[in-house]
Amino acid sequence: MKKEMEKAFNKQVNAELYSSYLYLSMESYFQSISLSGFAAWMRAQVQEEMFHGIKMYNYIHERGGKAKLEAIAKPEEKWESPLLAFEHILAHEQHVTSLINNLIDVAQDVRDHAAKAFLDWFITEQVEEEASAGQIVDRLRLIGNDSSGLFFLDSELGKRVFVMPVKQ
């Protein structure tokens, strides 16, 4: 693996681990306001983001590189509402998509076709991530100040569990 590619992957590993950390912070926030279903959704997201980071970490080593862990930035701890938390999530996932796109640009620049093929899975994953967050944002906007709608959504989100992808 070329050093430029290795450096870019290491940066992305840190971004994925930060995402996990952010969602863990959000889980705590939702627990603190007694929305355990939202918290469960976040816990599944924590596991998913950790999986993404480890998947890239392993890839670096499989290609003969060296994974280098950096400090993870402190995430926010509180949001004004569930809607604002999910708007933050949507913006964050859009940012992660841009990071993955930049990583693909590096792979193309250094002509690393294996890295490009590996990253295609993440592109598909990001489409799903943005769609999921966007759908919840839309539903929270529709709910508005209706507490019964919020509690129904909380119940629904609480059913989510992380399922390890079959093809890793």
pLDDT of amino acid 72:
95
Residue 29 exposed, middle or buried by CB count within 10 Å (0-12, 13-18, 19+)? buried
Residue 163 lies in a domain: no
Residue 132 lies in a domain: yes
pTM above 0.75, yes or no: yes
Report the pLDDT averaged over residues 118-143.
Answer: 96
CATH number for the domain harbouring residue 10 = 1.20.1260.10
Residue 74 lies in a domain: yes
pLDDT in tens, 70-93: 999 999 999 999 999 999 999 999
In total, how many domains does the chain have? 1
The mean pLDDT of the chain is: 95
